[in-house]
């Protein structure tokens, strides 16, 4: 039997009520692999419970007959639904497995940036030349002192200027062609997740360095690909890769290593240094070891934001100025620890407030600082987005770390 003979819904799906018509529900893709959600009737919704991979389409037809009082519905109703869901990549089927097995990860953030390459170049250039921006990057011989950079992963429209401050420093201060991007994981509960896929954007394909990935797997051990699916919708790698492509287009052939890091909430709540958690300590050691074995410069890009406040993030009240002021003050406390390159102190500030402000950049920042121990940091730019009606606020910064 093929998967379509016994259809099975794939992971990462959710059902929501169709607000425009209560007779329908919407099957949504939380992983954003499907191009559009599927609108289903309430009758079709009852059939989905039988899409478990154990029943054939004929058996689903019979189960539906039992549920609906003995009327055997035409088999075409069920095969049409199966085909519709399969075409939309909602089923675990050969089509879906082929999509997952593809060696190239397709872009998932179109809309944050345009589809046309020239429009992307214009958009990103505007962040450098913005009155708040750092000016266009200068072509000069890098001094090689830059070790890493913390750069936001908020959408470009809200954080583009801060991106530009970080990437200008990267472009001018490192000779690296290998960029290890260590980003916040938004779609996986796993601590660390790698992918071997190359990344396609409208600016072309940026290759993933397989030799570095091999080394990380060798020194860390198993489990780094257990939830590789989480990379497909993830923006914390893609938004950095697009900026790198723009900067080095026609100048240098770059490669990346896409590593995302899950929550450190267990360490925060127990006030345990993340370096004392076995898997985190193992990753810190593995990163150090791979760097020792790599015979070329490496630049580490930390993809992370700072505080997340407001009802969007389950706070009970809209964001007001007193909360914003308090958050800015706490952000500055965190950033002072970053400028000291003090991973333990950075963590401690966040743990002391039980991560009440949801500092999503904690995991990748701690891992990078602990692994590579730069001598000092420098805050290049800080900003705080505030929704006009207080629905949300997100703060973010670019910070350069030097040898």
Give me the pLDDT at residue 33, please: 87
User: DSSP character for 361?
Assistant: T
Give me the pLDDT at residue 2, please: 57
Q: What is the pLDDT of residues 185-216, one digit of tens each?
A: 999 999 999 999 999 999 999 999 999 999 99
CB 395 within 8 A of CB 382: yes
CA separation for the pair 86, 90 (Å, rounded)? 6
H or E segment at 151? strand 146-151
Give me the pLDDT at residue 5, please: 86
Give me the pLDDT at residue 140, please: 85
Give me the pLDDT at residue 32, please: 84
Q: At 156, is the pLDDT very low, low, confident or very high (cuts 50, 70, 90)?
A: very high
CA distances from 231 to 226, 284, 397 (A): 11, 21, 23
Report, as an integer, the average pLDDT of 133-145: 93
Q: At 69, is the pLDDT very low, low, confident or very high (cuts 50, 70, 90)?
A: confident
Q: At 3, is the pLDDT very low, low, confident or very high (cuts 50, 70, 90)?
A: low
Give me the pLDDT at residue 31, please: 86
Give me the pLDDT at residue 30, please: 86
β-pairing verdict for 178-184 and 255-261: parallel
CB 215 within 8 A of CB 292: no
Report, as an integer, the average pLDDT of 328-341: 98
Q: What is the pLDDT of residues 258-306, one digit of tens each?
A: 999 999 999 999 999 999 999 999 999 999 999 999 999 999 999 999 9
Q: Indicate if the pLDDT at residue 221 is higher than 80.
A: yes
Any idea where the domains of the chain sit in the sequence?
Answer: 13-101, 105-402
Q: What is the pLDDT of residues 358-403, one digit of tens each?
A: 999 999 999 999 999 999 999 999 999 999 999 999 999 999 999 9
CA separation for the pair 25, 43 (Å, rounded)? 10
Say yes or no: domain 105-402 is CATH 3.40.50.10190.
Answer: no
Which are the contacts of 351, defined by CB distance < 8 A and separation ≥ 6? 267, 268, 271
Q: What is the pLDDT of residues 17-50, one digit of tens each?
A: 999 999 999 999 988 888 889 999 999 999 999 9
CB 199 within 8 A of CB 206: yes
């Amino acid at each position: 039997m093929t998967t379509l003979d016994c259809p099975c819904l794939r992971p990462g799906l959710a059902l929501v009520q169709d607000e425009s018509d209560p007779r329908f529900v919407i099957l949504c893709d939380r992983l954003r692999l499907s191009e559009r959600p599927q609108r289903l009737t309430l009758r079709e919704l009852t059939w989905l419970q039988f899409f478990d991979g154990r029943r054939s389409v004929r058996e689903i037809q019979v189960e539906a007959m039992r549920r609906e009082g003995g009327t055997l519905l035409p088999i075409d109703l069920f095969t049409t639904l199966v085909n519709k869901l399969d075409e939309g990549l909602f089923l675990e089927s050969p089509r879906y497995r082929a999509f997952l097995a593809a060696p190239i990860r397709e872009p998932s953030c179109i809309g944050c940036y345009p589809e046309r390459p020239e429009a992307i170049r214009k958009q990103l250039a505007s962040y450098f030349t913005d009155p708040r921006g750092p000016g266009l990057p200068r072509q000069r011989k890098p001094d090689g002192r830059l070790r890493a950079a913390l750069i936001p992963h908020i959408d470009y429209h809200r954080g583009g200027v801060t991106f530009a401050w970080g990437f200008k420093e990267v472009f001018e201060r490192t000779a690296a062609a290998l960029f290890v991007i260590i980003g916040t994981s938004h779609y996986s509960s796993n601590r660390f997740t790698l992918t071997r896929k190359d990344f396609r954007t409208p600016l072309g394909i940026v290759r993933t360095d397989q030799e570095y990935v091999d080394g990380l797997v060798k020194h860390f051990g198993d489990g780094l690909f257990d939830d590789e699916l989480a990379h497909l919708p993830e923006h914390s790698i893609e938004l950095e890769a697009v900026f790198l492509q723009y900067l080095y287009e026609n100048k240098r052939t770059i490669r990346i290593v896409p590593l995302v890091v899950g929550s450190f909430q267990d360490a925060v709540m127990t006030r345990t240094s993340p370096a004392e958690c076995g898997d985190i300590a193992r990753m810190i050691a593995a990163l150090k070891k791979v760097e020792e074995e790599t015979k070329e410069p490496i630049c580490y890009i930390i993809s992370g934001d700072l505080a997340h406040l407001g009802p969007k993030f389950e706070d009970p009240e809209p964001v007001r100025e007193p909360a914003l002021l308090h958050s800015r003050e706490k952000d500055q406390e965190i950033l002072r620890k970053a400028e000291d390159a003090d991973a333990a102190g950075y963590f401690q500030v966040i743990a002391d407030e039980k991560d009440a402000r949801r500092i999503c950049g904690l995991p990748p920042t701690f891992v990078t600082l602990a692994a590579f121990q730069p001598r000092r940091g420098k805050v290049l730019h800080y900003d705080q987005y505030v929704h006009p009606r207080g629905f949300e606020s997100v703060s973010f910064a670019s910070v350069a770390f030097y040898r």
